[in-house]
Chains A and B, each alone.
Chain A
Amino acid sequence: MRLSKRALLRGVAGLTGTVALAACGQAGGSSAPAALPTFAPGSYMAKIVQRGKLVAGVKQDQPLFGYLNPRTNQLEGFDVDIVKEIAKALFNDASPSRLELKPVTSASRIPLLQEGGIDIIAATMTITDERKQQIDFSDVYYLAGQSLLVKKDSPTTKIQDLDKADKTVCSATGSTSEQNITKFAPNAQKVLFAGYADCVTALQQGRADGVSTDDIILAGFAAQDPTLKLVGGQITTEPYGLGINKSSTGFLEFVNSTLRTMKTNGRWKAIYNQWLSSIGPAPEPPK
Protein backbone atom coordinates (compact mmCIF):
# COMPACT_ATOMS: atom_id res chain seq x y z
CA MET A 1 0.00 0.00 0.00
CA ARG A 2 1.52 3.27 -1.09
CA LEU A 3 1.23 5.97 1.57
CA SER A 4 0.48 9.36 0.07
CA LYS A 5 2.55 12.25 1.36
CA ARG A 6 -0.60 13.78 2.83
CA ALA A 7 -1.50 10.66 4.80
CA LEU A 8 2.07 10.40 6.06
CA LEU A 9 2.06 14.03 7.21
CA ARG A 10 -1.28 13.50 8.95
CA GLY A 11 0.00 10.38 10.67
CA VAL A 12 3.11 12.11 11.93
CA ALA A 13 1.15 15.14 13.12
CA GLY A 14 -1.38 12.93 14.86
CA LEU A 15 1.33 10.88 16.49
CA THR A 16 3.15 13.99 17.64
CA GLY A 17 -0.08 15.37 19.02
CA THR A 18 -0.82 12.18 20.90
CA VAL A 19 2.71 12.04 22.32
CA ALA A 20 2.44 15.69 23.39
CA LEU A 21 -0.90 14.95 24.99
CA ALA A 22 0.48 11.98 26.91
CA ALA A 23 3.49 13.98 28.00
CA CYS A 24 1.24 16.75 29.27
CA GLY A 25 -0.93 14.27 31.09
CA GLN A 26 2.05 13.14 33.10
CA ALA A 27 3.34 16.64 33.75
CA GLY A 28 0.03 18.29 34.59
CA GLY A 29 -0.16 17.39 38.27
CA SER A 30 1.07 20.66 39.78
CA SER A 31 -1.20 23.52 40.83
CA ALA A 32 0.62 26.11 38.68
CA PRO A 33 -0.94 26.60 35.19
CA ALA A 34 0.39 23.81 32.98
CA ALA A 35 2.46 24.62 29.92
CA LEU A 36 0.70 24.69 26.57
CA PRO A 37 1.08 21.40 24.74
CA THR A 38 3.24 21.69 21.66
CA PHE A 39 2.08 20.30 18.36
CA ALA A 40 3.89 19.64 15.12
CA PRO A 41 4.36 22.95 13.27
CA GLY A 42 2.03 23.04 10.27
CA SER A 43 -0.59 20.96 12.04
CA TYR A 44 -3.97 22.51 12.63
CA MET A 45 -3.61 22.12 16.39
CA ALA A 46 -0.50 24.32 16.33
CA LYS A 47 -2.52 26.96 14.51
CA ILE A 48 -5.26 26.83 17.15
CA VAL A 49 -2.79 27.00 20.02
CA GLN A 50 -1.09 29.97 18.39
CA ARG A 51 -4.45 31.71 18.06
CA GLY A 52 -5.10 31.10 21.75
CA LYS A 53 -8.57 29.62 21.56
CA LEU A 54 -10.66 26.95 19.89
CA VAL A 55 -13.64 28.23 17.91
CA ALA A 56 -16.52 25.76 17.90
CA GLY A 57 -19.87 25.95 16.14
CA VAL A 58 -22.73 24.84 18.38
CA LYS A 59 -26.49 25.15 18.32
CA GLN A 60 -28.06 27.75 20.55
CA ASP A 61 -31.68 26.69 20.35
CA GLN A 62 -31.37 22.97 21.05
CA PRO A 63 -32.25 22.17 24.66
CA LEU A 64 -29.85 19.61 26.20
CA PHE A 65 -27.29 19.85 23.39
CA GLY A 66 -26.57 23.47 22.51
CA TYR A 67 -28.79 25.97 24.27
CA LEU A 68 -28.50 29.61 25.27
CA ASN A 69 -29.66 29.60 28.87
CA PRO A 70 -31.73 32.77 29.20
CA ARG A 71 -30.95 33.08 32.91
CA THR A 72 -27.17 32.81 32.71
CA ASN A 73 -26.79 34.01 29.10
CA GLN A 74 -24.35 31.13 28.54
CA LEU A 75 -24.39 28.43 25.90
CA GLU A 76 -24.67 25.02 27.54
CA GLY A 77 -25.38 21.39 26.73
CA PHE A 78 -23.92 18.01 25.76
CA ASP A 79 -22.26 19.31 22.58
CA VAL A 80 -20.83 22.29 24.46
CA ASP A 81 -19.26 20.05 27.10
CA ILE A 82 -17.75 17.81 24.42
CA VAL A 83 -15.93 20.73 22.78
CA LYS A 84 -14.90 21.98 26.21
CA GLU A 85 -13.04 18.68 26.62
CA ILE A 86 -11.32 19.17 23.28
CA ALA A 87 -10.30 22.72 24.16
CA LYS A 88 -8.99 21.39 27.49
CA ALA A 89 -6.95 18.78 25.63
CA LEU A 90 -5.59 21.37 23.19
CA PHE A 91 -4.50 23.90 25.78
CA ASN A 92 -4.19 21.73 28.89
CA ASP A 93 -6.33 24.46 30.39
CA ALA A 94 -10.00 24.29 31.31
CA SER A 95 -10.51 28.06 31.50
CA PRO A 96 -13.41 29.41 29.43
CA SER A 97 -11.18 31.88 27.59
CA ARG A 98 -9.73 28.96 25.58
CA LEU A 99 -13.03 28.21 23.92
CA GLU A 100 -15.15 30.47 21.75
CA LEU A 101 -18.62 29.19 20.96
CA LYS A 102 -20.27 30.39 17.77
CA PRO A 103 -23.99 29.73 17.30
CA VAL A 104 -24.75 27.91 14.04
CA THR A 105 -27.83 26.49 12.33
CA SER A 106 -28.30 23.22 10.42
CA ALA A 107 -27.93 25.15 7.18
CA SER A 108 -24.96 27.33 8.14
CA ARG A 109 -22.70 24.90 10.02
CA ILE A 110 -20.92 23.27 7.07
CA PRO A 111 -20.40 26.46 5.01
CA LEU A 112 -19.00 28.17 8.12
CA LEU A 113 -16.55 25.31 8.70
CA GLN A 114 -15.47 25.31 5.07
CA GLU A 115 -14.83 29.05 5.12
CA GLY A 116 -12.72 28.81 8.25
CA GLY A 117 -15.10 30.71 10.52
CA ILE A 118 -15.05 27.79 12.97
CA ASP A 119 -12.54 25.03 13.71
CA ILE A 120 -15.04 22.32 14.54
CA ILE A 121 -18.76 21.62 14.35
CA ALA A 122 -20.50 20.23 17.45
CA ALA A 123 -24.10 20.84 16.48
CA THR A 124 -26.20 17.67 16.61
CA MET A 125 -24.90 16.77 13.15
CA THR A 126 -25.63 13.33 11.70
CA ILE A 127 -22.83 11.55 9.80
CA THR A 128 -23.92 11.00 6.18
CA ASP A 129 -22.08 10.00 3.00
CA GLU A 130 -23.27 13.19 1.31
CA ARG A 131 -21.72 15.36 4.01
CA LYS A 132 -18.53 13.26 3.97
CA GLN A 133 -17.93 14.63 0.48
CA GLN A 134 -17.68 18.10 1.98
CA ILE A 135 -16.14 17.61 5.43
CA ASP A 136 -14.49 15.02 7.69
CA PHE A 137 -16.36 13.48 10.60
CA SER A 138 -14.93 12.38 13.94
CA ASP A 139 -15.87 9.05 15.48
CA VAL A 140 -19.48 8.78 16.59
CA TYR A 141 -19.90 10.66 19.85
CA TYR A 142 -23.63 10.02 20.28
CA LEU A 143 -26.22 7.64 18.81
CA ALA A 144 -29.59 9.31 18.34
CA GLY A 145 -32.55 8.29 16.22
CA GLN A 146 -35.19 10.22 14.32
CA SER A 147 -38.61 10.34 15.97
CA LEU A 148 -41.85 12.31 15.86
CA LEU A 149 -43.26 14.96 18.19
CA VAL A 150 -47.01 15.49 18.29
CA LYS A 151 -49.59 17.08 20.55
CA LYS A 152 -50.53 14.95 23.56
CA ASP A 153 -54.11 14.47 22.37
CA SER A 154 -53.10 13.47 18.84
CA PRO A 155 -54.11 9.96 17.63
CA THR A 156 -50.85 9.69 15.64
CA THR A 157 -48.68 6.82 16.86
CA LYS A 158 -45.98 6.82 14.19
CA ILE A 159 -44.78 8.97 11.29
CA GLN A 160 -46.42 6.70 8.71
CA ASP A 161 -49.81 7.83 10.11
CA LEU A 162 -49.04 11.26 8.67
CA ASP A 163 -48.39 9.94 5.16
CA LYS A 164 -51.42 11.75 3.74
CA ALA A 165 -51.74 14.80 1.53
CA ASP A 166 -53.64 16.78 4.18
CA LYS A 167 -51.05 16.23 6.92
CA THR A 168 -48.10 18.54 7.54
CA VAL A 169 -44.76 17.57 9.03
CA CYS A 170 -42.21 20.16 10.06
CA SER A 171 -38.43 20.03 10.16
CA ALA A 172 -35.35 22.19 9.63
CA THR A 173 -33.85 23.23 6.28
CA GLY A 174 -30.62 21.44 5.60
CA SER A 175 -31.17 18.53 7.98
CA THR A 176 -31.17 14.79 7.34
CA SER A 177 -34.50 14.75 9.17
CA GLU A 178 -36.34 16.53 6.37
CA GLN A 179 -34.95 14.08 3.81
CA ASN A 180 -36.16 11.18 5.96
CA ILE A 181 -39.65 12.65 6.11
CA THR A 182 -39.79 12.28 2.31
CA LYS A 183 -38.76 8.67 2.75
CA PHE A 184 -41.22 7.69 5.48
CA ALA A 185 -44.17 9.99 4.68
CA PRO A 186 -43.81 10.99 1.02
CA ASN A 187 -47.37 12.24 0.66
CA ALA A 188 -47.27 14.58 3.63
CA GLN A 189 -46.82 18.31 3.16
CA LYS A 190 -43.44 19.47 4.43
CA VAL A 191 -42.83 22.79 6.12
CA LEU A 192 -39.22 23.80 6.72
CA PHE A 193 -37.92 26.48 9.03
CA ALA A 194 -34.46 27.68 9.99
CA GLY A 195 -34.64 26.04 13.41
CA TYR A 196 -36.64 23.41 15.27
CA ALA A 197 -37.94 25.98 17.75
CA ASP A 198 -40.00 27.53 14.94
CA CYS A 199 -41.28 24.04 14.10
CA VAL A 200 -42.43 23.50 17.68
CA THR A 201 -44.24 26.86 17.59
CA ALA A 202 -45.91 25.80 14.36
CA LEU A 203 -46.95 22.51 16.02
CA GLN A 204 -48.34 24.34 19.03
CA GLN A 205 -50.36 26.63 16.76
CA GLY A 206 -51.74 23.71 14.79
CA ARG A 207 -49.91 24.68 11.61
CA ALA A 208 -48.13 21.31 11.58
CA ASP A 209 -49.32 17.87 12.66
CA GLY A 210 -45.90 16.72 13.75
CA VAL A 211 -42.25 17.72 14.07
CA SER A 212 -39.72 15.11 13.04
CA THR A 213 -36.05 15.13 13.88
CA ASP A 214 -33.62 13.38 16.22
CA ASP A 215 -35.35 12.11 19.37
CA ILE A 216 -32.90 13.89 21.66
CA ILE A 217 -33.80 17.24 20.14
CA LEU A 218 -37.52 16.50 20.44
CA ALA A 219 -37.11 15.32 24.04
CA GLY A 220 -35.64 18.70 24.93
CA PHE A 221 -38.71 20.45 23.58
CA ALA A 222 -41.11 17.96 25.18
CA ALA A 223 -39.40 18.63 28.50
CA GLN A 224 -40.23 22.32 28.11
CA ASP A 225 -43.81 21.85 26.91
CA PRO A 226 -45.87 19.17 28.67
CA THR A 227 -48.61 19.33 26.00
CA LEU A 228 -46.32 17.56 23.51
CA LYS A 229 -45.20 13.93 23.36
CA LEU A 230 -42.79 11.72 21.39
CA VAL A 231 -44.26 8.83 19.43
CA GLY A 232 -43.09 6.09 17.12
CA GLY A 233 -39.72 5.26 18.70
CA GLN A 234 -36.60 5.59 16.55
CA ILE A 235 -37.25 5.27 12.80
CA THR A 236 -33.60 5.76 11.91
CA THR A 237 -30.23 5.59 13.66
CA GLU A 238 -28.57 8.95 13.66
CA PRO A 239 -24.88 8.77 14.55
CA TYR A 240 -23.70 12.22 15.65
CA GLY A 241 -20.17 13.23 14.68
CA LEU A 242 -18.02 16.32 15.13
CA GLY A 243 -17.35 18.13 11.87
CA ILE A 244 -13.78 19.00 10.86
CA ASN A 245 -12.53 20.75 7.76
CA LYS A 246 -10.81 18.36 5.34
CA SER A 247 -7.77 20.65 5.21
CA SER A 248 -7.19 20.71 8.98
CA THR A 249 -3.96 18.70 9.09
CA GLY A 250 -3.84 16.28 11.97
CA PHE A 251 -6.88 17.69 13.74
CA LEU A 252 -9.14 14.74 12.95
CA GLU A 253 -6.76 12.27 14.58
CA PHE A 254 -6.38 14.58 17.57
CA VAL A 255 -10.14 14.92 18.09
CA ASN A 256 -10.66 11.18 17.73
CA SER A 257 -7.97 10.39 20.26
CA THR A 258 -9.54 12.91 22.66
CA LEU A 259 -12.94 11.27 22.17
CA ARG A 260 -11.45 7.82 22.78
CA THR A 261 -9.88 9.05 26.02
CA MET A 262 -13.20 10.51 27.16
CA LYS A 263 -15.09 7.32 26.39
CA THR A 264 -12.69 5.11 28.34
CA ASN A 265 -11.96 7.31 31.36
CA GLY A 266 -15.62 7.89 32.29
CA ARG A 267 -15.79 11.53 31.21
CA TRP A 268 -18.29 10.76 28.40
CA LYS A 269 -20.64 9.06 30.87
CA ALA A 270 -20.29 11.97 33.29
CA ILE A 271 -21.29 14.46 30.58
CA TYR A 272 -24.17 12.20 29.52
CA ASN A 273 -25.44 11.97 33.09
CA GLN A 274 -25.29 15.72 33.48
CA TRP A 275 -27.46 16.47 30.45
CA LEU A 276 -29.31 13.42 29.20
CA SER A 277 -30.22 11.46 32.31
CA SER A 278 -33.86 12.45 31.72
CA ILE A 279 -33.80 10.29 28.59
CA GLY A 280 -32.61 7.20 30.43
CA PRO A 281 -29.58 5.66 32.16
CA ALA A 282 -26.22 6.27 30.48
CA PRO A 283 -25.57 3.68 27.77
CA GLU A 284 -22.13 2.46 26.77
CA PRO A 285 -20.36 5.14 24.72
CA PRO A 286 -20.74 4.54 20.95
CA LYS A 287 -17.77 3.03 19.12
Chain B
Amino acid sequence: MQQATPTVPAGGGAPPPAGTAILNNLPLFWEGFKITVALGVLALLLALILGVIFAVLRSVPVRPLRAIGTAYVEFFRNTPLLVQTFFAYFGLGAAGIRLPAFTAAFLALGVYTGAFVTEAIRAGILAVDRGQYEAARSLGLSYVKMMRYVVLPQAFATTVPPLGNLAIALAKNTSLASSIAVADLLYNANLINSRTFATYEVFAFVGLCYLAITLPMSAALGQIERRLTRYR
Protein backbone atom coordinates (compact mmCIF):
# COMPACT_ATOMS: atom_id res chain seq x y z
CA MET B 1 0.00 0.00 0.00
CA GLN B 2 1.51 3.26 -1.02
CA GLN B 3 1.37 5.89 1.65
CA ALA B 4 -0.35 9.14 0.76
CA THR B 5 1.97 11.99 -0.16
CA PRO B 6 0.95 15.64 -0.01
CA THR B 7 0.10 17.36 -3.29
CA VAL B 8 2.43 20.27 -4.02
CA PRO B 9 2.16 22.72 -6.91
CA ALA B 10 5.14 22.82 -9.32
CA GLY B 11 8.14 24.66 -7.87
CA GLY B 12 9.50 28.05 -8.82
CA GLY B 13 7.75 31.40 -9.16
CA ALA B 14 5.43 33.17 -6.72
CA PRO B 15 3.92 31.30 -3.78
CA PRO B 16 0.47 29.87 -4.68
CA PRO B 17 -2.70 31.68 -3.50
CA ALA B 18 -3.72 31.23 0.13
CA GLY B 19 -5.73 28.09 0.79
CA THR B 20 -4.18 26.04 -2.01
CA ALA B 21 -2.23 23.91 0.42
CA ILE B 22 -5.43 23.05 2.29
CA LEU B 23 -7.60 22.39 -0.74
CA ASN B 24 -5.03 20.20 -2.47
CA ASN B 25 -4.53 18.03 0.59
CA LEU B 26 -8.04 17.56 1.99
CA PRO B 27 -7.87 13.73 1.67
CA LEU B 28 -4.75 13.65 3.84
CA PHE B 29 -6.37 15.90 6.46
CA TRP B 30 -9.41 13.62 6.43
CA GLU B 31 -7.27 10.50 7.00
CA GLY B 32 -5.62 12.22 9.93
CA PHE B 33 -8.99 13.34 11.28
CA LYS B 34 -10.28 9.76 11.25
CA ILE B 35 -7.22 8.47 13.10
CA THR B 36 -7.52 11.25 15.70
CA VAL B 37 -11.18 10.42 16.32
CA ALA B 38 -10.46 6.67 16.51
CA LEU B 39 -7.61 7.30 18.93
CA GLY B 40 -9.78 9.56 21.07
CA VAL B 41 -12.77 7.22 21.23
CA LEU B 42 -10.69 4.14 22.13
CA ALA B 43 -8.67 6.02 24.72
CA LEU B 44 -11.82 7.52 26.26
CA LEU B 45 -13.42 4.08 26.60
CA LEU B 46 -10.27 2.75 28.24
CA ALA B 47 -10.13 5.77 30.54
CA LEU B 48 -13.75 5.40 31.62
CA ILE B 49 -13.37 1.68 32.35
CA LEU B 50 -10.14 2.20 34.28
CA GLY B 51 -11.68 5.21 36.04
CA VAL B 52 -14.67 3.29 37.36
CA ILE B 53 -12.52 0.34 38.46
CA PHE B 54 -9.97 2.41 40.30
CA ALA B 55 -12.53 4.82 41.78
CA VAL B 56 -14.29 1.87 43.33
CA LEU B 57 -10.94 0.43 44.45
CA ARG B 58 -10.13 3.69 46.19
CA SER B 59 -13.54 3.79 47.90
CA VAL B 60 -13.88 0.29 49.33
CA PRO B 61 -13.04 -0.15 53.01
CA VAL B 62 -10.16 -2.57 52.22
CA ARG B 63 -6.73 -0.98 52.66
CA PRO B 64 -4.59 -2.98 50.17
CA LEU B 65 -7.13 -2.31 47.41
CA ARG B 66 -7.17 1.38 48.24
CA ALA B 67 -3.36 1.41 48.10
CA ILE B 68 -3.38 -0.04 44.59
CA GLY B 69 -5.86 2.59 43.49
CA THR B 70 -3.81 5.40 45.02
CA ALA B 71 -0.59 4.12 43.43
CA TYR B 72 -2.21 4.08 39.98
CA VAL B 73 -3.57 7.61 40.30
CA GLU B 74 -0.47 9.18 41.81
CA PHE B 75 1.88 7.66 39.23
CA PHE B 76 -0.09 8.29 36.03
CA ARG B 77 -1.48 11.64 37.02
CA ASN B 78 1.87 13.10 37.95
CA THR B 79 4.01 12.10 34.96
CA PRO B 80 3.75 13.93 31.62
CA LEU B 81 1.68 12.26 28.91
CA LEU B 82 4.48 12.70 26.39
CA VAL B 83 6.85 10.78 28.64
CA GLN B 84 4.25 8.03 29.08
CA THR B 85 3.71 7.88 25.31
CA PHE B 86 7.43 7.59 24.59
CA PHE B 87 7.72 4.97 27.29
CA ALA B 88 4.87 2.93 25.83
CA TYR B 89 6.47 3.03 22.39
CA PHE B 90 10.26 3.20 22.78
CA GLY B 91 10.64 2.25 26.44
CA LEU B 92 8.68 -0.97 26.22
CA GLY B 93 10.26 -1.56 22.82
CA ALA B 94 13.70 -1.59 24.39
CA ALA B 95 12.41 -4.17 26.88
CA GLY B 96 11.23 -6.37 24.01
CA ILE B 97 7.51 -5.43 24.02
CA ARG B 98 7.03 -3.91 20.57
CA LEU B 99 3.65 -2.23 20.50
CA PRO B 100 2.48 -0.70 17.22
CA ALA B 101 2.44 3.09 17.39
CA PHE B 102 -1.36 3.46 17.42
CA THR B 103 -1.70 0.90 20.23
CA ALA B 104 1.03 2.51 22.30
CA ALA B 105 -0.59 5.91 21.80
CA PHE B 106 -4.12 4.98 22.79
CA LEU B 107 -2.94 2.87 25.74
CA ALA B 108 -0.81 5.71 27.10
CA LEU B 109 -3.60 8.23 26.59
CA GLY B 110 -6.24 5.94 28.12
CA VAL B 111 -4.17 5.07 31.18
CA TYR B 112 -3.18 8.72 31.71
CA THR B 113 -6.70 10.07 31.41
CA GLY B 114 -7.99 7.14 33.47
CA ALA B 115 -6.11 8.49 36.49
CA PHE B 116 -7.98 11.79 36.18
CA VAL B 117 -11.31 10.03 35.57
CA THR B 118 -10.75 8.02 38.74
CA GLU B 119 -10.45 11.18 40.75
CA ALA B 120 -13.48 12.76 39.09
CA ILE B 121 -15.66 9.77 39.85
CA ARG B 122 -14.32 9.55 43.38
CA ALA B 123 -15.11 13.22 43.92
CA GLY B 124 -18.65 12.55 42.77
CA ILE B 125 -18.98 9.67 45.23
CA LEU B 126 -17.66 11.81 48.07
CA ALA B 127 -20.06 14.61 47.19
CA VAL B 128 -23.09 12.51 47.96
CA ASP B 129 -24.54 13.63 51.30
CA ARG B 130 -23.69 11.56 54.37
CA GLY B 131 -27.38 11.40 55.12
CA GLN B 132 -27.99 9.34 52.01
CA TYR B 133 -25.64 6.60 53.25
CA GLU B 134 -27.33 6.56 56.64
CA ALA B 135 -30.80 6.50 55.12
CA ALA B 136 -29.83 3.65 52.78
CA ARG B 137 -28.34 1.67 55.66
CA SER B 138 -31.38 2.25 57.80
CA LEU B 139 -33.54 0.84 55.01
CA GLY B 140 -31.46 -2.33 55.19
CA LEU B 141 -29.65 -2.02 51.83
CA SER B 142 -26.37 -3.92 51.48
CA TYR B 143 -23.18 -2.03 50.53
CA VAL B 144 -23.43 -3.03 46.90
CA LYS B 145 -27.15 -2.19 46.63
CA MET B 146 -26.56 1.12 48.35
CA MET B 147 -23.82 2.06 45.87
CA ARG B 148 -25.83 0.89 42.91
CA TYR B 149 -29.23 2.43 43.66
CA VAL B 150 -28.53 5.39 45.91
CA VAL B 151 -24.95 6.67 45.80
CA LEU B 152 -23.70 6.20 42.27
CA PRO B 153 -26.75 7.68 40.51
CA GLN B 154 -26.40 10.83 42.61
CA ALA B 155 -22.67 10.87 42.13
CA PHE B 156 -23.26 10.87 38.40
CA ALA B 157 -24.71 14.39 38.39
CA THR B 158 -21.60 15.78 40.07
CA THR B 159 -19.23 13.78 37.91
CA VAL B 160 -20.49 14.82 34.50
CA PRO B 161 -18.93 18.31 34.26
CA PRO B 162 -15.41 17.16 35.22
CA LEU B 163 -15.74 14.10 33.00
CA GLY B 164 -16.76 16.33 30.13
CA ASN B 165 -13.67 18.48 30.72
CA LEU B 166 -11.49 15.38 30.77
CA ALA B 167 -13.00 14.13 27.53
CA ILE B 168 -12.25 17.45 25.84
CA ALA B 169 -8.70 17.43 27.22
CA LEU B 170 -8.29 13.90 25.92
CA ALA B 171 -9.43 14.95 22.45
CA LYS B 172 -6.66 17.55 22.38
CA ASN B 173 -4.09 15.21 23.94
CA THR B 174 -4.48 12.81 21.02
CA SER B 175 -2.16 15.19 19.16
CA LEU B 176 0.78 13.88 21.20
CA ALA B 177 0.51 10.60 19.31
CA SER B 178 2.12 12.38 16.36
CA SER B 179 5.43 12.31 18.24
CA ILE B 180 5.60 8.54 17.86
CA ALA B 181 4.66 8.67 14.19
CA VAL B 182 0.93 7.90 14.44
CA ALA B 183 -0.59 9.33 11.25
CA ASP B 184 -3.08 11.55 13.08
CA LEU B 185 -4.24 15.06 12.23
CA LEU B 186 -1.14 16.81 13.58
CA TYR B 187 1.29 14.36 11.96
CA ASN B 188 -0.31 14.84 8.55
CA ALA B 189 -0.43 18.60 9.11
CA ASN B 190 3.32 18.59 9.77
CA LEU B 191 3.85 16.55 6.62
CA ILE B 192 1.81 18.94 4.50
CA ASN B 193 3.51 21.94 6.07
CA SER B 194 6.95 20.53 5.29
CA ARG B 195 6.08 20.24 1.60
CA THR B 196 4.09 23.43 1.08
CA PHE B 197 5.48 25.74 3.80
CA ALA B 198 2.00 27.26 4.13
CA THR B 199 2.52 27.19 7.90
CA TYR B 200 -0.15 29.66 9.04
CA GLU B 201 -2.86 28.18 6.83
CA VAL B 202 -2.08 24.59 7.66
CA PHE B 203 -2.03 25.03 11.43
CA ALA B 204 -5.00 27.42 11.47
CA PHE B 205 -6.94 24.78 9.56
CA VAL B 206 -5.79 22.02 11.92
CA GLY B 207 -6.87 24.16 14.88
CA LEU B 208 -10.32 24.40 13.28
CA CYS B 209 -10.36 20.63 12.82
CA TYR B 210 -9.71 20.09 16.51
CA LEU B 211 -12.42 22.64 17.31
CA ALA B 212 -14.76 20.63 15.12
CA ILE B 213 -14.17 17.75 17.55
CA THR B 214 -14.20 19.63 20.85
CA LEU B 215 -16.97 22.21 20.29
CA PRO B 216 -19.70 19.60 19.72
CA MET B 217 -18.41 17.83 22.85
CA SER B 218 -18.75 21.09 24.79
CA ALA B 219 -22.27 21.61 23.46
CA ALA B 220 -23.32 18.07 24.35
CA LEU B 221 -21.82 18.53 27.79
CA GLY B 222 -23.85 21.70 28.29
CA GLN B 223 -27.03 19.88 27.32
CA ILE B 224 -26.36 17.04 29.75
CA GLU B 225 -25.60 19.46 32.57
CA ARG B 226 -28.86 21.34 31.90
CA ARG B 227 -30.85 18.10 32.00
CA LEU B 228 -29.24 16.92 35.23
CA THR B 229 -29.67 20.15 37.15
CA ARG B 230 -33.21 20.83 35.97
CA TYR B 231 -34.74 19.95 39.29
CA ARG B 232 -32.19 21.53 41.58
Which B6-45 residues have C-beta < 8 A from chain A? Answer: 8, 11-12, 15
Q: How far is the CA of A205 from the CA of B5 in the complex (A)?
A: 26
* A contact residues, total (Cβ < 8 Å): 30
B93 adjacent to A174 (CB under 8 Å): no
Known: A193-B181, A205-B98. A111 touches B199 (CB 8 A): yes
Distance to closest chain B CB from A266 (angstroms): 37
Q: Can you give 17 A-B contacts (C-beta < 8 A)? A: A106-B194, A107-B193, A107-B194, A129-B12, A130-B197, A133-B12, A134-B197, A174-B193, A178-B194, A190-B3, A191-B101, A191-B181, A192-B191, A194-B179, A198-B90, A201-B93, A207-B98
Does B195 lie at the interface of the complex (its beta carbon under 8 Å from any beta carbon of A)? yes
B11 adjacent to A129 (CB under 8 Å): yes
Count A-B contacts at CB 8 Å: 55
Q: Which residues of A contact B190 (CB under 8 A)?
A: 107, 173-174, 192
A189 adjacent to B3 (CB under 8 Å): yes
Q: Which residues of A contact B187 (CB under 8 A)?
A: 173, 192
Interface string of A198-214 (1 = CB under 8 A from B): 10011001110000000
B191 adjacent to A173 (CB under 8 Å): yes
B8 adjacent to A130 (CB under 8 Å): yes
Q: Which of A49-57, A138-146, A179-187 is found at the contact surface with chain B?
A: A179-187
Chain A residue nearest to B96 (CB atoms) is A205
Which B190-227 residues have C-beta < 8 A from chain A? Answer: 190-191, 193-195, 197, 199
Does B2 lie at the interface of the complex (its beta carbon under 8 Å from any beta carbon of A)? yes
Give the contacting residue for A173; candidates B8, B194, B199; CB below 8 A.
Answer: B194
Known: A130-B197, A194-B179. A205 touches B2 (CB 8 A): no
Known: A107-B190, A173-B190. A205 touches B93 (CB 8 A): yes
B90 adjacent to A205 (CB under 8 Å): yes
Q: How far is the CA of A111 from the CA of B181 in the complex (A)?
A: 21
Does B94 lie at the interface of the complex (its beta carbon under 8 Å from any beta carbon of A)? yes
Does B62 lie at the interface of the complex (its beta carbon under 8 Å from any beta carbon of A)? no
Does A127 lie at the interface of the complex (its beta carbon under 8 Å from any beta carbon of B)? no
Q: Which residues of B contact A178 (CB under 8 A)?
A: 194
Does B144 lie at the interface of the complex (its beta carbon under 8 Å from any beta carbon of A)? no
Chain A CB within 10 A, most for which of B101, B179, B199: B199
Q: How far is the CA of A207 from the CA of B195 in the complex (A)?
A: 25
Does A12 lie at the interface of the complex (its beta carbon under 8 Å from any beta carbon of B)? no
Q: Which residues of A contact B195 (CB under 8 A)?
A: 130, 179
Q: Which residues of A contact B93 (CB under 8 A)?
A: 201, 205, 207
Does B1 lie at the interface of the complex (its beta carbon under 8 Å from any beta carbon of A)? yes
Q: How far is the CA of A201 from the CA of B199 in the complex (A)?
A: 29
Q: Which residues of A contact B94 (CB under 8 A)?
A: 205
Q: How far is the CA of A198 from the CA of B89 in the complex (A)?
A: 11
6 closest A-B pairs by beta carbon, nearest first, are A174-B194, A205-B93, A129-B11, A191-B181, A173-B190, A134-B197
A residues sitting closer than 8 Å to B (CB atoms) are 106-107, 110-111, 129-131, 133-134, 165, 173-175, 178-179, 182, 186-187, 189-194, 198, 201-202, 205-207
B197 adjacent to A133 (CB under 8 Å): yes
Interface string of B36-56 (1 = CB under 8 A from A): 000000000000000000000
Q: Which residues of B contact A202 (CB under 8 A)?
A: 90
Q: How far is the CA of A165 from the CA of B195 in the complex (A)?
A: 23
Q: How far is the CA of A5 from the CA of B173 in the complex (A)?
A: 50
Chain B residue nearest to A199 (CB atoms) is B181
Distance to closest chain A CB from B89 (angstroms): 9
Chain B residue nearest to A175 (CB atoms) is B194
Chain B residue nearest to A111 (CB atoms) is B199
Distance to closest chain B CB from A279 (angstroms): 27
Q: Which residues of A contact B15 (CB under 8 A)?
A: 133
Distance to closest chain A CB from B204 (angstroms): 14
B90 adjacent to A187 (CB under 8 Å): no
Q: Which residues of A contact B5 (CB under 8 A)?
A: 182
Q: How far is the CA of A198 from the CA of B1 in the complex (A)?
A: 24
Distance to closest chain A CB from B176 (angstroms): 12
Q: How far is the CA of A145 from the CA of B82 in the complex (A)?
A: 33
Interface string of B169-199 (1 = CB under 8 A from A): 0000000000111000001001101110101
A192 adjacent to B181 (CB under 8 Å): yes
Distance to closest chain B CB from A55 (angstroms): 20
Q: Which residues of B contact A107 (CB under 8 A)?
A: 190, 193-194
Distance to closest chain B CB from A112 (angstroms): 11
B197 adjacent to A187 (CB under 8 Å): no
Q: Which residues of B contact A106 (CB under 8 A)?
A: 194
Q: Which residues of B contact A182 (CB under 8 A)?
A: 5
Q: How far is the CA of A191 from the CA of B1 in the complex (A)?
A: 14
